[in-house]
């Protein structure tokens, strides 16, 4: 999967990595195999916590909204927020706090202004797409945003986007997704540091 390959490229060998909203630990497991990282997952769902333990990935049960600052001063190199920022109650606070726990942060943002979303909304329906797969009644997403919104928030919070990739629905960069990201990128992937 290109997204994982991309995240791998931004993660240095032996890095100490915290994945906030790590799910079943798949991403950390592959990073561990490829980059020999020191992985820590944060997850609230106990079924997913068991999946992490079964993969031998250390996992911490915590609510990201409430606990990011608990991880301050623990020397993480990289913090990952992969498709979980839109599930947080305070995405702005989370983003500004996240760089107090790690040197760099990798964030992925499903783009609510992708043309498929716009099309479905124009038909009067809540969008269901590859990067927003759940129907409205079953989604954990409470703070959806667009590529443009997210980048404006980064500016407002004084965060520096070191790298960014705009992925189309096939999880790879296309001519259109890089040229007109807010319309053709399904997912924005960012490497963020502080200014």
Site of interaction with another protein (CB under 8 A): 16, 38, 40, 46-47, 49-56, 58-62, 70-71, 73-75
Q: For residue 141, what are its two tokens? A: 């997403």
Continuous segment of H or E residues that includes residue 39: strand 38-43
Name the residue nearer to another protein (CB basis): 14 or 136.
Answer: 14
Q: How far is the CB of 28 from another protein (least distance, A)?
A: 12
The C-alpha angle with vertex 3 and arms to 85 and 32, in degrees rounded to 5, equals 90
Cβ atoms within 10 Å, residue 80:
28
* Burial readout 102-136 (b: 16 or more C-beta within 10 A, e: otherwise): bebbbbbbbbbbbbbbeebeeeeeebebebbeeee
Q: For residue 135, what are its two tokens? A: 């129907």
Name the residue nearer to another protein (CB basis): 16 or 130.
Answer: 16
Name the residue nearer to another protein (CB basis): 40 or 190.
Answer: 40
Q: How far is the CB of 51 from another protein (least distance, A)?
A: 7
Name the residue nearer to another protein (CB basis): 46 or 123.
Answer: 46
Q: How far is the CB of 18 from another protein (least distance, A)?
A: 9
Residues in the chain: 195
Q: How far is the CB of 27 from another protein (least distance, A)?
A: 17
């Amino acid at each position: 999967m290109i997204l994982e390959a991309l995240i791998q490229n931004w993660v240095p060998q032996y890095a100490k990595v915290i994945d906030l909203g790590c799910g079943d630990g798949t991403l950390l497991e592959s990073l561990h195999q490829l980059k020999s990282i020191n992985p820590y997952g944060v997850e609230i769902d106990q079924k997913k916590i068991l999946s992490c333990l079964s993969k031998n990935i250390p996992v911490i049960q915590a609510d990201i909204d409430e606990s990011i600052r608990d991880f301050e001063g623990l020397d993480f190199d990289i913090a990952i927020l992969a498709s979980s920022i839109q599930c947080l109650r305070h995405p702005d606070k989370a983003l500004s706090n996240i760089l107090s726990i790690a040197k760099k942060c990798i964030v992925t943002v499903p783009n609510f202004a992708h043309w498929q979303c716009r099309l479905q909304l124009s038909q009067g329906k809540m969008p269901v797409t590859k990067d927003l797969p759940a129907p409205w009644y079953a989604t954990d997403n409470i703070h959806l945003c667009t590529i443009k919104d997210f980048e404006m928030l980064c500016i407002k919070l004084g965060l520096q986007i070191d790298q960014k990739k705009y992925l189309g629905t096939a999880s790879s960069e296309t001519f259109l997704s890089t040229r007109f990201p807010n319309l053709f990128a399904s997912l924005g992937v960012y490497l963020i540091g502080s200014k």
